[in-house]
């Protein structure tokens, strides 16, 4: 392990204040992982800056000492994006939680990177506005983390991912310089560098302030729960709805294993013998909504839905969404660790992929629960394992490769929204040809020549793969 050099620690303390630098091994231990727990890595120090200037100061110190620098928001990454594999300085942005400006006339808000996604919406709900990107982690994940992973969510189907809602950002680069990109309107001059940074997972710069677009809250909403005997029927209903040209605001699926866990927790009287349920939400102006609701219910029934229920009021709708959004967490009730995959396929291929996933789970003897943003074909098979059993840990990694390879073969991708992080570095290499990968690498070095920003994430840059995450035998490298 690298020796902790007291000199850089003193410099960090001078920049952010001594009480905002954590060096105790126990304290650093709590930063060993995020919501991805297959691999761990302890940073050498964690700093909690309060402003853009302090972040820039920290970056300059790491530059001077040649240390890795790892940005971190709420630590809900499901791809290990914040794990300090090689140590270094972790920059936790959670103290930066000020909403700096709300401008409803120009439909935007400027916030510090550590502001919690949901808090943006809460600040403007009363006026009839909200911040549209709604990852299921929105009650804790930060606008900065969402920016860095280009987060999506159930309502992405209609409103688009984070990239479509970011208008500008203040970025601290690896050397400590501060750049301001975009503004309060689309198409700010200077080329669209901003888009390059959205989704770059902290490898190109650290976002410290972000200007986001605000969206009018729809006048009317209908939310339905469709219950199916089998996943197959539910999958066909999804492709049926999309094929009929309907674009719901959200179209989500949960399978039986997920329902059971959620039910144990919330007791919402979900039918436990159902194979899968869909949550389908439409919104817009009141006239016409009921007709569309009926049409969707009809389509579901035609594809074998046993029952279609309409949420009667806001409280019922909120419950459905709570069940869906906390479903990953509820899966912990099976008493196992898990790894959440994040594949994408064209919606018409969902039935096929679901059968394949069931097959892979059975072959590796793994318990699998699946949740999906069905409308986008973004599928989250959750692979559960006992972390004390090395064979199961290997099986999880192998199953992940098989499933994501199949997604690519079906015309999809290895990540829909969780990002590459540390987990999918090798998967990315399987998805792109060497020339494309080399171009990505050149872009990265243009921003960060020494590759100190989140160094082992997204692109390996010549570093060896974390042993555990290597493609297992039998799967071509």
Ligand X SMILES: Cc1cc2nc3c(=O)[nH]c(=O)nc-3n(C[C@H](O)[C@H](O)[C@H](O)COP(=O)(O)OP(=O)(O)OC[C@H]3O[C@@H](n4cnc5c(N)ncnc54)[C@H](O)[C@@H]3O)c2cc1C
Residues lying near another protein in the complex (CB under 8 A) are found at 22, 24-27, 29-35, 37, 46, 48, 74-76, 92, 94-95, 97, 114, 116, 118, 137, 139-141, 262, 264-265, 326-333, 335, 337-338, 387
Residue with smaller CB distance to another protein, 168 or 400: 400
Question: Does the protein bind ligand SF4 through residue 332 (CB under 6 A)?
Answer: yes
Name, in order, each residue with C-beta under 8 angstroms of 461's C-beta and a sequence gap of 6 or more.
441, 444, 451, 455
CA 465 to chain CA centroid, Å, is: 22
CA atoms within 13 A on the CB side of 409: 9
CA atoms within 13 A on the CB side of 281: 25
Q: Is 476 helix (H, G, I), strand (E, B) or coil?
A: coil
Q: What is the number of other CB atoms lying within 10 angstroms of the CB of residue 42?
A: 18
For residue 31, the partner it binds in ligand SF4, ligand X, another protein, none, with Cβ less than 5 to 8 A by kind, is another protein
Report the C-alpha gap between 218 and 95 in whole angstroms.
32
Contact 59, 448 (CB under 8 A): no
- Bridge partners of 272, per DSSP, are none
Question: Does the protein bind ligand SF4 through residue 18 (CB under 6 A)?
Answer: no
Counting every residue, how long is the chain?
Answer: 477
Report the C-alpha gap between 432 and 317 in whole angstroms.
41
Question: Does the protein bind ligand SF4 through residue 334 (CB under 6 A)?
Answer: no
Q: Nearest approach, Cβ of 325 to another protein (angstroms)?
A: 9
Q: Nearest approach, Cβ of 9 to ligand SF4 (angstroms)?
A: 28
Q: Nearest approach, Cβ of 339 to ligand SF4 (angstroms)?
A: 15
Residue with smaller CB distance to ligand X, 151 or 261: 151
Q: Which of residues 48-67 bind ligand SF4 (CB under 6 A)?
A: none
Report the C-alpha gap between 327 and 284 in whole angstroms.
27
Question: Does the protein bind ligand SF4 through residue 329 (CB under 6 A)?
Answer: yes
Q: Is 277 helix (H, G, I), strand (E, B) or coil?
A: strand
Report the C-alpha gap between 113 and 98 in whole angstroms.
9
Residue with smaller CB distance to another protein, 268 or 408: 268
Tokens of 288: 């016409």
Q: Nearest approach, Cβ of 18 to another protein (angstroms)?
A: 13
Phi and psi torsions of 376, nearest 5°: -95, 0
Q: Nearest approach, Cβ of 78 to ligand SF4 (angstroms)?
A: 13
Residues lying near ligand X in the complex (CB under 6 A) are found at 34-35, 70-78, 81-82, 93, 113, 135-137, 141-142, 144-146, 148-149, 151-153, 201-202, 206-207, 328-329, 417-418, 421, 454, 457
For residue 139, the partner it binds in ligand SF4, ligand X, another protein, none, with Cβ less than 5 to 8 A by kind, is another protein
Name, in order, each residue with C-beta under 8 angstroms of 350's C-beta and a sequence gap of 6 or more.
235, 238, 239, 372, 374, 377, 379
Residue with smaller CB distance to another protein, 70 or 459: 70
Residue with smaller CB distance to ligand X, 93 or 241: 93
Q: Nearest approach, Cβ of 164 to another protein (angstroms)?
A: 25
Q: Nearest approach, Cβ of 332 to ligand SF4 (angstroms)?
A: 5
Q: Nearest approach, Cβ of 207 to ligand X (angstroms)?
A: 4
Binding site for ligand SF4 (CB under 6 A): 329, 332
């Amino acid at each position: 392990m690298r020796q902790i050099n007291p000199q850089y620690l003193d410099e960090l303390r001078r920049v952010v204040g001594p009480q905002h630098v954590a060096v105790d091994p126990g304290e650093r231990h709590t930063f060993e992982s995020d919501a991805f727990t297959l691999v761990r890595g302890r940073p050498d120090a964690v700093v909690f800056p309060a402003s853009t200037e302090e972040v820039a100061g920290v970056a300059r110190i790491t530059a001077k000492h040649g240390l890795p620098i790892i940005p971190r928001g709420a630590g809900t990454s499901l791809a290990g994006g914040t794990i300090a594999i090689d140590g270094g300085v972790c920059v936790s942005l959670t103290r930066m939680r000020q909403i700096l400006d709300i401008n409803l006339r120009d439909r935007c808000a400027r916030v510090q990177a550590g502001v919690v996604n949901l808090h943006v919406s809460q600040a403007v709900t009363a006026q009839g506005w909200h911040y549209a990107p709604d990852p299921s982690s929105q009650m804790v994940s930060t606008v900065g983390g969402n920016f860095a992973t280009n987060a999506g969510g159930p309502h992405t189907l209609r409103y688009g991912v984070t990239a479509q809602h970011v208008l500008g950002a203040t970025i601290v680069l690896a050397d400590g310089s501060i750049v301001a990109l975009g503004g309060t309107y689309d198409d700010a001059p200077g080329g669209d560098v901003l888009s390059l940074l959205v989704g770059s997972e902290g490898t190109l710069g650290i976002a410290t302030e972000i200007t986001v677009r605000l969206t009018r809250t729809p006048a009317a909403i209908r939310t339905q729960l469709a219950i199916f005997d089998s996943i197959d029927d539910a999958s066909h209903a999804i492709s049926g709805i999309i094929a009929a040209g309907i674009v719901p605001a959200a179209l989500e699926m949960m399978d039986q294993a997920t329902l059971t866990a959620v039910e144990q927790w919330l007791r919402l009287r979900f039918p436990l013998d159902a194979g899968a349920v869909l949550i389908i939400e439409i919104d817009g102006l009141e006239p016409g909504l009921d007709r569309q609701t009926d049409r969707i219910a009809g389509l579901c029934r035609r594809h074998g839905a046993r029952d279609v229920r309409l949420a009667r009021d806001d409280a019922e709708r909120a419950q459905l969404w709570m069940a869906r959004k906390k479903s990953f967490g509820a899966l912990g009730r099976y008493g196992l660790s898990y790894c959440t995959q994040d594949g994408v396929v064209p919606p018409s291929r969902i039935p096929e992929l679901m059968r394949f996933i069931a097959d892979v789970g059975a072959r590796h003897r793994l318990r699998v629960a699946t949740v999906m943003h069905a409308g986008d074909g973004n599928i989250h098979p959750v692979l559960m394992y006992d972390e004390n059993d090395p064979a199961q840990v290997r099986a999880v990694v192998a199953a992940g490769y098989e499933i994501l390879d199949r997604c690519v073969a079906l015309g999809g991708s290895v990540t829909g929204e969780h990002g590459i992080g540390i987990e999918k570095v090798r998967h990315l290499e399987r998805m792109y040809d060497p020339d494309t990968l080399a171009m990505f690498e050149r872009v990265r070095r243009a921003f960060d020549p020494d590759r100190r920003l989140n160094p082992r994430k997204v692109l390996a840059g010549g570093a060896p793969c974390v042993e555990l995450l290597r493609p297992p035998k039998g799967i071509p490298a």
